[in-house]
Structure 1
Amino acid sequence: MSIAILFAVLGSAFLHALWNGLIKTGTSRLGAMVVLSIGEVPIGLTVAMLRPGLLPEAWKWVLMAGCAHFFYKFFLTYAYERGDLSRVYPIARGAAPLVVALAGPFLLNDQLSLHEYAGIVVLGAGILLMAQGIFSNGENRKMLPFALGSACATASYTLLDGTGARVAGDAIAYVAWIFVADGVFFASGMLLWKGLAVLPRQVKPWGSGLIAAAASYGAYGVSVWAMTKAPIAVVAAVRETSILFAVLIGWLVFGEKMTRGKAIAACVIVSGVILTRL
């Protein structure tokens, strides 16, 4: 991997942490996520119109992945309502590859290597360390099931995408349509449930939400481009530095408490994710 590609992937990791951080701004995490979802629709449509059409058998995978994204956003939103970015993000991001690694051999007939087994052990230890900090520091324990729910939803759409992208005929068009389905499902679902009151009334949350939508797609687009220029496993591993970026954003931007235990747990989670990705 060249230095230019390395910095591009690090930029992708930062963008992923950034859009999660933007969801934490403002008074309503749910409102911010709805705005992000609304912004995803024109972005996805624009990209999709510039790509070849999907093969017919791909649409069921788009719809299933869109549903998985709905639950990912739902759980993530309510985790952020109850916990810090620097606590929620590492658990949600780190537990997802743990679930994929454990479920892969049963659902995809993938065989785990020795370093992947080691990664599972390290990941589990890091997540337990991060979760233990919630109890020892008197934080809201209700965020933990939501963070883990988000991780399970992430693992679900990761497993779905593994098949969907292969049968779609064009992986970029496939993800663009997932953005559309994801945005429509979440925004319409929340509006039907909560009504128009969920939409922010101020201009700033709309600006933050739309920037978050662009950052979300930018993070994906850069990582996909990098995977055409460098080994996929290496790109995937480097991209997991987003966990460290999220911890730093939470600490430096939001003034979240940074303990030695939290920092160690984040580093252990990153190490475990890298082991499972390589």
Structure 2
Amino acid sequence: MSGLVFVAVIGAALLHAAWNALVKGGADKTLSMGAVVIGHLPIALVALPFVPLPAAESLPYLAGGLVLHFGYQLFLLQSYKMGDLTQVYPIARGSAPLIVAVFSVLVLGVHLDGLELLAIAIIGLGIISLALVRQSDGQQNKNAAAFALTTGVFIASYSLVDGVGARIAGTSLGFYCWLSLGNGILMIAYLAARSPQTLRAIPRTGLPILVLGGGASFIAYAVVTWAFTQAPIALVTALRETSIVFALLIGVFFLKEPLNLVKVFSTFSALLGAILLRYARS
């Protein structure tokens, strides 16, 4: 993995943590998530005239990505309703790079050397260990854990589909702009059907999250989609999930959440894995 890709993905991870902190701080998670996703629309619409059209061969991947991203958002919301945030999020994000690595090696035939596999395992296991931070009802709730793990499967799936699709499209930004446009329209349709009052509230109470969270989220995944075309998808996915480290730092230093040994262990595990990824094959 080149230095440019490494720095770009770390920056994307920081932006990912930032918009998640905005969603976490919102009283209405559905409104916050809707505002972030709909916030992609104005950026995508402005960018579309200036980016190439994706190759026609990438359209099945674009359609698959739309379904997977929307499924991820719905399952993530349901997970948060059933379980604790500090347990659901690590299970979902930590399981994804492990699933992607296994699929890449066994199905796609991608070769990862021993150091890269070790780095992915360290990052994934370190993040998942955050599920032990609090022994609350969320951790004991098997349904919440199952939904969180399913969310991780969606993350792994859309990472693989988007990574391959962006390569075939010949334009990572063009591919992602159309993906964002479709995803935003799907979210509007979903909220209009299931919670019209939430949709109406977004311009009034969700505008800061729409602008700041939507902007951060769009930029973060645009960078990740580009990185998928520059490095193995499994490595990019693993490095991206170090976002949980930034989320922890934001929680401790800005939200004044308590720090404990499990959080310290997880942080250093993710950082060690990131360092190993940076220097693997260098």
Shorter-chain TM-score bucket reads 0.7 to 0.9
Deviation of 1:105 (Å) = 2.2
Matched residue SS, 2:138: coil
When residues 72 and 273 of structure 1 are mapped into structure 2, their CA distance, relative to the original with a 3 A threshold, is farther
Alpha-carbon contact 1:32-1:205 (below 8 Å) kept = yes
Structure-2 separation of matches of 1:12 and 1:162: 15
CA contact (8 A) 2:39 2:210 kept: yes
* Paired residues for 1:1-278 under 5 Å: 10-81=10-81, 86-123=86-123, 125-134=125-134, 137-141=135-139, 142=141, 143-192=144-193, 194-199=194-199, 201=201, 203-222=204-223, 232=231, 236=236, 239-272=240-273, 275=276, 278=280
Q: Offset of 1:63 from its aligned partner? A: 1.0
Answer yes or no: is the 8 Å Cα contact 1:58–1:167 preserved in 2: yes
Quick one: structure 1 residues 197 and 204, their matched pair in 2 at CA, closer, same or farther if it must change by over 3 Å? closer
- Pairs aligned (count): 271
Does the CA-based 8 Å contact 1:44-1:177 persist in structure 2?
yes
TM-score, length-scaled by structure 1: 0.81
What's the secondary structure of 2:39's corresponding residue? helix
> CA 1:82 to 1:20, structure 2 compared with 1: closer, same or farther past 3 Å?
farther
Displacement, 1:246? 0.6
**CA displacement 1:44-86 (0-9 Å, x = unmatched):** 2222221112222222211100111012212222334455655
Report the 3-state secondary structure (helix = DSSP H, G, I; strand = E; otherwise coil) of the residue aligned with 1:98.
helix
- Structure 1: segments with no counterpart, 5+ residues: none
Query: Any idea what the Cα deviations from partners look like across 1:9-51, whole Å, max 9, x if unmatched?
Result: 5443321111111111222101111122222122222222211
Which amino acid counterpart does residue 54 of structure 1 have in structure 2?
A: P
User: What secondary structure sits across from 1:27 in the alignment?
Assistant: coil
CA RMSD of aligned residues (A): 3.2
TM-superposed deviation, 1:87: 4.2
- Which deviates more, 55-64 or 117-126? 117-126
CA distance in 2, matches of 1:5, 1:175: 17
TM-fit CA distance, 1:208: 1.5
Post-superposition CA distance 1:149-199 (Å, at most 9, x none): 22211110111122211221222100111111222223322432x231233
**In structure 1, what residue type is equivalent to 2:136?**
G
Structure 2 runs not aligned, ≥5 long: none
2:100 maps to a residue whose letter is V
Equivalent position amino acid for 1:98 in 2: L
